[in-house]
């Protein structure tokens, strides 16, 4: 399956979706000019991945900032992961947040409330 690698910029996150290396991660900042067109390929990739996921899927969110329009698309990603989980697969979300950023921590808690997937909150320093 095709690998997605997008370099991060000041307004778009770094994205790695690599099934073979079992690396699924989105990090950095997200306030793209056109959120839908930025996230479409990611959601499409997950649709394809859902057809034959790895034995274990760990999806890492390591965002330092996202705008409200992105928050909706992040939920779309989480709901796709929820579907994969509901289909009987082992899925874990790891929500990394700077340890001094309460808002980012709370955003993770809110997503964890909405979707029914094992959800780990991972604070980091620096």
Partner 1 sequence: MDNKKDVKGFLEFVYEFYKSMKAHEITLVYEGEITHQITKAFTSLTESNMAKDDESGSVQRKVFHVMVECLQNISKHADDFTSNDYLFSGRGIFLVSKGDNEYSVTTGNAVDNDRIEELTSMLESINRMNKDELKDLYKKQMKEGRLSDKGGAGLGFIDIKRKTGRDLEYHFLPISDDTSFFLLTSTIGRDE
**Per-residue CA distances from 115 to 29, 42, 61, 73, 126 (Å):** 22, 18, 15, 14, 28
Q: Which of 2, 20, 21, 33 binds partner 1 (CB under 8 A)?
A: 33
> At a CB cut-off of 8 Å and minimum separation 6, what does 110 contact?
none
Q: Which of 40, 48, 90, 110 binds partner 1 (CB under 8 A)?
A: 110
Element of type H or E holding 77: helix 68-86
Q: How far is the CB of 67 from partner 1 (least distance, A)?
A: 5
d(CA 50, CA 84): 6
Single out the segment in contact with partner 1 by CB under 8 A; choices: 15-23, 43-51, 66-74, 81-89. 66-74
d(CA 58, CA 25): 9
Q: Does 71 contact partner 1 by CB under 8 A?
A: yes
Q: For residues 19 and 63, which CB has a smaller minimum distance to partner 1 in the complex?
A: 63
Q: How many residues bind partner 1 (CB under 8 A)?
A: 23
CA-based nearest residue to 95, from 116, 85, 110: 110
Q: Does 42 contact partner 1 by CB under 8 A?
A: no
Judged by the rule CB under 8 A, the positions of this chain that interact with partner 1 are 10-11, 31, 33-36, 65, 67-69, 71-73, 75, 98, 100-103, 110, 113-114
């Amino acid at each position: 399956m095709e690998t997605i690698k997008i370099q991060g910029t000041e307004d778009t996150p770094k994205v790695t979706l690599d099934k073979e290396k079992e690396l699924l991660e989105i990090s950095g900042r997200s306030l793209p000019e056109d959120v839908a067109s930025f996230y479409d390929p990611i959601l499409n990739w997950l649709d394809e991945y859902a057809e034959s996921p790895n034995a274990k899927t760990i999806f890492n969110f390591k965002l330092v900032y996202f705008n409200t329009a992105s928050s909706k698309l992040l939920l779309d990603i989480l709901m796709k992961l929820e579907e994969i989980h509901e289909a009987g697969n082992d899925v874990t979300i790891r929500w990394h947040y700077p340890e001094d950023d309460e808002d980012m921590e709370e955003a993770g808690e809110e997503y964890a409330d909405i979707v029914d997937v094992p959800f780990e909150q991972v604070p980091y320093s620096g």
